[in-house]
Structure 1
Amino acid sequence: MAFEPQLVYQTLTSAPIVPVFYHPDAEVTCQIIKACYDGGIRAFEFTNRGENAKEVFKVLRDFISTNYPKMALGIGTVFNALQAEEFIALGADFVVQPCTTMDVAEVCKAQNIAWMPGAMTVSEVYNATLLGAEIVKVFPGNVVGSGFVKALKGPLPKVKVMVTGGVEPTSESLKEWFSAGVSAVGIGSQLFPKAVVEAGNFEEIAQKINTLLTYYQTLAPTA
């Protein structure tokens, strides 16, 4: 299925936990994707952090298209237009940046791809919205803290925030961030403990995700 930008944003609204993951082994990553889907995830961010990231991404694109067409596959850690163009050509449904650059914004707009730029200050968040961002990634969350998001909502009440970095896979952490006003959270290594991944205990990951999403539903009316 084609993921128009609004469909990606709607997907995040219904299941607002985005796994942020990189592994050089495509087969391992496919197992992680299966576990995430089984747990209820519908948007997965693969990060552009390894030399063979593009080769792995190609495998993931085919795997998801064949088995989980209702899951949006995004690419993260994108810094420039060339990287964005390459991964969009490989089938990325959305692009996530640790920063905000105009050239990536323009590529995503021209190709009708959901774009989530990174920001750390009020000025950066505001400038990202001026460039067309519907969801701004506040990063790193563990540095700015949930209090920043709550304060940000004062002058910018309509801005939608996805926070990444420092979000823990616990009910306490989800409550803290969603109560502060975020629209979604990205969770990386803490969601995928190295020992669990190496042991191939993917069912444990699926159960953890399901527990988190179930808990989120209790927060949804006030989030």
Structure 2
Amino acid sequence: MATTSNSFCSPPLTRLPLTELARPLPHRMRVRCFSSSPLSRFDAGRTLAQIQNSGVIACLRANSPELAMEAARAALGAGVSVLEIVMSTPGVLEVLEQLVLDYPAAVLGVGTVLNVKDASIAMSVGARFLMSPAIVEGIMADVQNSNVLYIPGVMTPNEILLAYNAGAKIVKVYPVSALGGVNYISAIQKPFSHIPMVASQGIAIESTDAYIAQGASAVVLSEAIFNSEAMSQHNFDLIYELAKKASLLGSEAVDRKKRWMRQTCLQRGVSTSH
């Protein structure tokens, strides 16, 4: 039987009850400045470093704000440090705003951002990163002078280079499974080893190590963590367990890669002080 145990959850909401999240807030309430909040201490470079150290971006889509909130809390409580909520999730901006308050150390962002308006509102409620399935030039331009990291979606070598030259600090290779999975990351990373890449779409938790070993900075895990059956049954204990496994495997994969790189540098007589 499915369970809704909240033993792993954070303290209860401090601002908006879940029932209120289902109602769109007035625009003037949604768009507010975070410049004086703890969020202001973050910048795109630090967000990028935290994504690379995590190795995993948990990608959440839900059909209600209540479900999104509980699933997010299960994943964050299990150790996930980077969470993306898909823009099509009802109440996504209000959910994000509350999570930013409840989990100030977490790297929280919005995915499938397709236009400048949505990007702007997401940034105003505390998104530390934005992710798109393609390159949205307007978003790229808007984030240049902000503390928010933009991760555009790319598929071909030309798109990777185009995004990088336009200012992207990291790109999302999407849809990676359809392109060849680990083998594609391994091949495409070689001429662009200076460009951090996130592998996204159809990745299993068990494949995390292989993707990171072959050049990905991190992987996006969606249904692998937020299992569709668990979501429909509100089985947050299962989501917690999947998130815990993903977080652990991601950290281990990143640590292995770092050790390998240090060893390789030492063998070649290259300093690793940087």
Instruction: Work out whether the TM-score is over 0.5.
Output: yes
Task: Look up the match of 1:215.
Answer: 249
Identity of aligned residues (%): 22
**d(CA) in 2 for partners of 1:73 and 1:160?**
19
Shift of 1:34: 1.1
Moved over 4 A (4+): none
Distance 1:120 1:73, change over 3 A: same
Aligned positions of 1:1-223 closer than 5 A: 1-2=38-39, 3-50=42-89, 52=90, 55-62=91-98, 64-144=99-179, 145-170=181-206, 173-219=207-253, 220-222=255-257
- RMSD of aligned Cα (Å): 1.7
Aligned residues: 217
Residue deviations 1:81-140 (CA, integer Å, cap 9, x gap) = 222112212322111010012211011113331110000011101111111111100000
* In structure 2, C-alpha distance between the alignment counterparts of 1:72 and 1:205, rounded to whole Å: 19
For the residues of structure 1 that align with 2:188 and 2:148, how far apart are their CA atoms?
Answer: 26
| 1:162-191: CA deviation from partner (whole Å, max 9, x where unpaired) | 011011122xx1122112110001111232
1:24 and 1:56 in contact (8 A); partners too: no
Distance 1:70 1:125, change over 3 A: same
Return the TM-score normalized by structure 2. Answer: 0.74
Name the SS of the counterpart of 2:108 in structure 1: strand
Please list every run of 5 or more consecutive structure 2 residues that lacks an aligned counterpart in the other structure: 1-37, 259-274
**Structure 1 residue ranges without an equivalent (≥5):** none
Per the alignment, in what secondary structure is the counterpart of residue 219 of structure 2? Answer: strand
Report the CA distance shift for 1:165/1:86 in structure 2 as closer, same or farther (over 3 A).
same
The TM-score normalised by the length of structure 1 is 0.90
State the AA in 2 paired with 1:44.
L
The residue aligned with 2:29 is none
